Amino acid sequence: MELKKVLLIGGSGFVGSWIANRLSERGIRVTIPTRHRDNTKQLILLPTVYTVEADVHDPQALASLVHGVDAVINLVGILHDKDSSQPYGKRFAAAHVELPRKILAAMKQAGVRRLVHMSALKAASDAPSAYLRSKGDGEAMVCAAGGEFDITVFRPSVIFGPGDAFLNTFATLLRLFPILPLAGAAARFQPVYVGDVADAFAGCLGDHATFGQIYELCGPKVYTLRELVEYTASLIGRRPLVIKLPDTLARLQACMLGLLPNPPMSLDNLRSMQIDNTSNGHCNYPDWHPKRLEAVAPAYLSALSLQPRLDGYRCRARRS
C-alpha cells in the first residue's frame, strides 16, 4: 500500500513530532492540525510537513482535513480533566472518545480507510482512573469500527526521549529540591523510547499485516517509579532524599498538585498508578527490539549534556 498523504492529528506534541520526522524521511506529505501554530515551531524545518490551525472537533474542519489523504493517525490525548464526573469528565470524553468518533465519521464520508490510533497501556472501561477509562472507551469504539476501516491501535507504556514530560519533569523537580516526597513510589512502568514508538507508527502505516491489530509497546525493562526517579537523579548529578509517601499523604499531595494550571501529578494520575503499567513480557509488535532507557536517557538528561544546560540558561534569562 503506497502512502503519499497522511493527516497527523495531535502531531504537534512530543510523540507526534517524532512521527512527523519519520514520515518526512520517507517523503510522505504530512498535514498537522493544531490549535495554536506557535506549538509547531519544532516542525518548521521538516520538508514535507505542513501545519494548519484548525479545530479538529468541528466536523466541517475535520472533513476538509481528511479530504484527499491516504491515512489518518490520531494522537490526541490529555492527561488531566478537572471535571470529576463518572466514568470521566467532559474534556476526557471530548478528546479520547468523541474525537475518534468524529474522525471515523469524516473518514467514512471521504472514503479513507486507514487509521492508526494512539491508545495507552492498561486503557480499559473499568480501569481505576478516568484517563484510562476514557482511553479504553475510545479504543473500544475505534476497534468496533474495524469492519469498515483498516485500523491499527497502539498501547504504549510511558514514553521517554528528548523532550518527554516524564523524566524531564522529575529532572526539573530534582534540580530544585533536595528532598522529594514521592507518591506512587512502588508503581511499575516499562518505559518505551519515543524513537521506537515513532518507528512503529511509521512502519505499520502501509503494512497490511498490522490492520485490525492492537499492539502493546513497551521497553525491555520494568522499573518502579522510585528507581526511575533515582536513575534520573544520578544522571543529573543529584543525590536527593526520596521519601515514599504513604497513601493518605500521596492523595493529599496529588490533590494539591492537581490544582496547579499544568500539574505534574493529579489524583487521577495517582489512580492510574494503582495498576502496573507493564505488559507482563508480552509486547507483540513484529520485529520489536526496543532501546534501553540507559542507552538513550544519559544523552538528554545528563548533567554534562548540552540541552539541560541551554534550558537552564534560557530559564535564567526568562526566555523559556
Ligand X SMILES: NC(=O)c1ccc[n+]([C@@H]2O[C@H](COP(=O)([O-])OP(=O)(O)OC[C@H]3O[C@@H](n4cnc5c(N)ncnc54)[C@H](OP(=O)(O)O)[C@@H]3O)[C@@H](O)[C@H]2O)c1
29 near 7, Cβ under 8 Å? no
Question: What is the spatial distance between Cα 79 and Cα 92, in angstroms, rounded to a whole number?
Answer: 8
User: One-letter amino acid identity for 98?
Assistant: E
Using the minimum distance from each CB to ligand X, give the nearer residue, 14 or 149. 14
Closest distance between ligand X and the C-beta of residue 167, in Å?
10
The residue (of 114 and 122) whose beta carbon lies closer to ligand X is 122
**8 Å CB contact between 75 and 10:** yes
Closer to ligand X at the Cβ: 58 or 247? Answer: 58
Q: Shortest approach of ligand X to residue 241 CB, angstroms?
A: 27
Residue among 103 and 182 whose Cβ is closer to ligand X = 103
Q: Which three cell numbers, joined as nine digits, stand for 43?
A: 516542525
Nearer to ligand X, 170 or 304 (CB): 170
Query: Looking at beta carbons only, is 15 or 293 nearer to ligand X?
Result: 15
8 Å CB contact between 258 and 250: no
Least separation, in Å, of the C-beta of 265 and ligand X? 14
Which of 149/201 has CB closer to ligand X?
Answer: 201
Cα(319)–Cα(74) distance, rounded to whole angstroms?
32
Q: How far apart are CA 19 and CA 237, in angstroms?
A: 31
Pairwise CA distance, residues 89 & 82, whole Å: 7
Q: Quick one: which of 152, 78, 75 has its CA closest to 118?
A: 75
Q: Give helix then strand counts, H and E, for the chain.
A: 12, 13
Whole-number Å distance between alpha carbons of 288 and 297: 20
User: Closest approach of Cβ 239 to ligand X, in Å?
Assistant: 26
Q: 3-class DSSP state for residue 73?
A: strand
CB of 222 to ligand X, least distance (A): 15
Q: How far is the CB of 52 from ligand X (least distance, A)?
A: 11
Task: Determine the length of the chain.
Answer: 320
User: Please, are residues 202 and 19 in contact by the beta-carbon 8 Å criterion?
Assistant: yes
Binding site for ligand X (CB under 6 A): 10-16, 34-36, 39, 56, 75-78, 95, 118, 120, 156, 158-159, 166
Of 95 and 233, which CB lies nearer to ligand X in the complex structure?
Answer: 95
Round to whole Å and give the CA distance between 27 and 5: 9
CB of 161 to ligand X, least distance (A): 9
| In the complex, minimum distance from the CB of residue 84 to ligand X, in angstroms, rounded to a whole number | 18
Least distance in angstroms from the C-beta of 13 to ligand X: 2
Query: Which region holds residue 183: left if phi is over 0, alpha if psi is between -120 and 50, else beta?
Result: beta
Q: How many CA atoms lie within 13 A of 44 on its CB side?
A: 6
Quick one: 56 or 69, whose CB is closer to ligand X? 56
Find the DSSP H helices in 26-154. Answer: 59-66, 90-92, 99-110, 130-144
